[in-house]
Structure 1
Amino acid sequence: MLIRCYDCGETQDDRAYSCMCGGLLEVVQDFKGLDAEELKMRFRHRLSERMSPYASGVWRYKELIHPELPDGEIVTKREGNTGLYAPEVVRRSLGIRKVWLKAQSENPSGSFKDNGMTVAVSHGRYRGYRRFTCTSTGNTSSSLAMYAAWAECESVVLVPNERVSINKVLQTLAYGAKVVGFDGTYDEGIRFYERYGSELGLYICNSINPFRIEGQKSIVYEIAQSLDWELPDWIVIPGGALSNVTALGKGLEDLFQLGLIERMPRVALIQAEGASPFHRMMSLGEQQLTAFESPSTIASAMNIGNPPSWKKARDFLTRHGGVTCSVTDEEIMAAKTLIDRSGIGCEPASAATVAGLRKLLADKTIDREETAACILTGNLLKDTEALKHTYRSELSEWDRGGLAMPMKLTPERVLGRLGSADAFNPIS
């Protein structure tokens, strides 16, 4: 395993984040000597683990993620192992032959960030760090704070003062992180740490950290193993910083290179319309990204105007016939309601995948006879402001009945909320 600059190819120390040329770094794995069938057997055997690090849905695939890390250095909360669901109500609504939802919201801190964070914090602690940091619109900060606390280390996070869910900030504080609010965007926080992180003695755990990407690859490994190593025609991924499409793309190439899968699925990358510089670049056929100076979307986890991993995402999608799409906040919230009502639930950024799939089916980019897996990145309760807005009339009914104007509880009142007495069928 070595660390190499994505832009110029120079090798770097495994504590670095970027090259002198300004390019991001990547981990280059050595898969020589690994046999696909032997790996499948090993990964299947580890499904029975309960207490060892291999009980993790990330570290189950240790040979493909960080083979050199001693087992005793692994910081894990048994992350991964998230559900892969195929709700019929979503399939019918979209009109597609088969759709799966990968609920990364079931991770310990409630988001997909745990898959990468377990590897970043484990590696950082192994290399002697005891203070960890990130800049975040929410999910990264709460994941980092959780793992740092679990490792008995310190964490400090930079959080923009606007367009961030208070739920995520509260979760971060609860885990003991020091939160530094600032006037500016996620992108400005990244630039600050690229300049001052080392000087402050902090180990940066944003997606510029190449070990974050290695951990996130496990999401697609899990999907492949759950489906007996035969992936859907499409993997649909939401895009903010673009670390997910970079990581899952790298994971897909790993699986194909090793012979664990026989064909590469295509990838659809979905952005929120108000924060879609990457989609704009790809749709115009441009090779350079023009940042959005003031990104704006209800999907706070995607509210990023200058995604750091855009070059890797561009190259992967170009190599493998991937597509991009942008969706409005209204389309996102409609998809979120569908996912919530299916019994799974998600935060707005997650719902962008289903909204994007609907749009790509409508314009015939994706055929209705094909199959797809949508990545749901965050928990339903990560952003309750969006829920309050959606269910304001229902909340108003509860408020009148329970607080402002007390009302007697009667069977008639309950049936009135159901809308029809036909639903009342007592067991005889």
Structure 2
Amino acid sequence: MKIKCYDCGKESLETTYGNPCECGGLLEIVHDFSEADADKLKYVFQRRLSERMSTYASGVWRYKELIYPELAEEHIVTKREGNTGLYGSELIRQWLGIRTLWLKAQSENPSGSFKDNGMTVAISHGRSLGYKRFTCTSTGNTSSSLAMYAALAGCESVVLVPSEQVSANKVLQTMAYGAKVIEFDGTYDDGIRFYEQFGVELGLYICNSMNPFRIEGQKSIVFEIAQSLNWELPDWILIPGGALSNVTALGKGLLDLHSLGLIDRIPRVALIQAEGASPFHEMMIHGRRELIPVNRPSTIASAMNIGHPPSWRKAREFLKEHKGVTCSVTDEEIMEAKVLIDRSGIGCEPASASTLAGLRKLMAGGTISKDESAVCILTGNLLKDTDVLRKHHFGGGPGQADPHRVAIARLSLETVMSRL
């Protein structure tokens, strides 16, 4: 395993993981899979599905050979993350008119979001280096995942949280796990810049998406999808885009699977952003070579309130090389999709629903055919943002009202009986 700069190719020491390269490029892990045997790996991964109490019961560490083979098992911090459901929904499939649709519910992770897939690897790596204090800047999901794993490892966590447009539920969850939460005036991007400047000096292990070990863990999402579908991936994978670490991580995972011969083709990827926070989509549709940041991103999907995503260059290259596309959706479109996902018994936070909203929009525009198959990644739990739920179900929120909702009022029990 080597750590190299994605832009200039310079190799870095294992202790320089948390910040960009001197040239400003992001670091990434490079594995040598030349001696790997695809059939043997499939056998090993399948056998580990029967594990219940070991490290390999994790849906991330099940694929340890493809993620971090060198790490000693004693350093691994795990809550059996991953192993999330891949669901079909006839209600949603008919709404779209698509042949085959799956929803990958990363919301079922221990802290309630896809961040756990990457965080277990980042915290484990930091622990192997002797770190006792872990940190990140976050719009919510990263911080709660970080705080959970740090607590599990018996370590401290310090989190920077923007003062605006962050779900209170996520902050409360982070505090419940014992993190020191510091609210600051500014945006997610301001917090990233702070850690680039002072993180190492403060002796903190940085767990933001710039950390290449987090990317390695997030790859496991697509590994699980492939294994669940007997190594036959769909035509499309749709991913929500905030910091863009998910598209780079899943893209890297797809390339790994293909190079190993575990899959015979790379599916097309659609990256979905919210209109109020879509600098990457704007760059792609206008053919720009540089991203123009959004100074004050604003969307109901709080997890996507990122105006200057750190991983934009890597995301752009993957999408360009493998016929990927981008799309932006309104808050109203997000909430309309969310209502259906919730009504299907799966549930998700608003950022997750952007993938379904994006799929509908791409089908309407003819980019995705009704005869194709797709997987939508759902990144966060239904209860991650109850303010959105409250506004939608009690009035005042964006999107159409849920047609299944019954107005809630205080009634006598006798009146209730007559209503039923």
Structure 2 length-normalised TM: 0.96
Q: Match for 2:243: what amino acid?
A: A
Residue 367 of structure 2 corresponds to: 365
* Residues in 2 aligned to 1:415 and 1:89: alpha-carbon distance in whole angstroms: 30
Within 1, Cα distance between the matches of 2:317 and 2:418? 56
Output the CA distance in 2 between the equivalents of 1:225 and 1:397: 43
Equivalent of 2:412, from 408, 415, 420?
408
How far apart are 1:18 and its partner, in Å? 1.6
Which residue of structure 2 lines up, in the alignment, with residue 6 of structure 1?
A: 6
| Residue identity in the other structure for 1:154 | E
Report what 1:205 is aligned to.
207
Q: Amino acid of the residue matched to residue 416 of structure 2?
A: R
Q: Which residue of 2 aligns with 1:167?
A: 169
* Unaligned stretches of 5+ residues in structure 2: 396-401
Cα distance in structure 2, aligned partners of 1:109 and 1:29: 29
Deviation at 1:188, TM superposition (A): 0.3
Residue type at the aligned position of 2:49: L
The superposition leaves residues 369-416 of structure 1 with CA deviations (integer Å, 9 ceiling, x where unpaired) of 000000000000000010001110599954x41xxxxx3213x52563
Distance 2:23 2:241 in 1: 25
Post-superposition Cα deviations, 1:17-45, rounded to whole Å, max 9, x if no partner, equal: 32111111000011121111100000000
Assess, with a 3 A threshold, how the Cα gap between structure 1 residues 414 and 343 changes in structure 2: closer, same or farther: farther
Cα distance in 1 between the residues matched to 2:168 and 2:175:
10
Quick one: distance in 1 between partners of 2:362 and 2:289? 23
Partner of 1:32: 34
Identity %: 72
Equivalence for 1:421: none
Bigger Rg over Cα:
1
Moved over 6 A (4+): none
How far apart are the structure 1 equivalents of 2:350 and 2:2? 37
Match of 2:216 in 1: 214
Work out which of the residue numbers 34, 41, 58 in structure 2 matches 1:56: 58
Aligned equivalents of 1:311, 1:127: Cα separation in 2: 29
SS of residue in 1 equivalent to 2:154: coil
Number of matched residues?
Answer: 410
Q: Do the aligned partners of residues 88 and 192 (structure 1) sit closer, same or farther apart at CA in structure 2, a change above 3 Å counting?
A: same
Counterpart Cα distance in 2 of 1:285 and 1:366? 21
1:164-193, Cα deviation, whole Å (9 max, x unpaired): 000000000000000000000000000000
Task: Give the structure 2 partner of residue 276 of structure 1.
Answer: 278
1:46-85 CA-to-partner distances (Å, cap 9, x unmatched) read 0001111000000000000000001111100000000000
* CA shift digits 1:117-148 (9 cap, x unpaired): 00000000101111000000000000000000
Structure 1 residue runs without a partner (length 5+): 402-406, 419-428
Note the alpha carbon deviations across 1:85-141, whole angstroms, 9 max, x for none: 011111001110010000000000000000000000000010111100000000000
SS at match of 2:361: helix
Residue number in structure 2 paired with 1:387: 389
- Between the aligned partners of 1:30 and 1:177, the Cα distance in structure 2 is 37
Q: Tell me the alpha carbon deviations over residues 235-281 of structure 1, each in whole angstroms, 9 at most, x when there is no partner.
A: 00000000000000000000000000011100000000000000000
Alpha-carbon distance in structure 2 between the residues aligned to 1:414 and 1:242 = 51
- CA RMSD after TM alignment: 1.2
CA distance in 2, matches of 1:234, 1:211: 26
Over 3 Å counting, the alpha-carbon distance change for 1:337 and 1:198 in structure 2 is same
For residues 236 and 149 of structure 1, the distance between their equivalents in structure 2, rounded to whole angstroms, comes to: 32
C-alpha separation in 1, matches of 2:285 and 2:370: 23
Aligned residue for 1:321?
Answer: 323
TM-score normalised to the size of structure 1?
0.94
Letter of the 2:11 counterpart:
T
Residue aligning to 1:86: 88
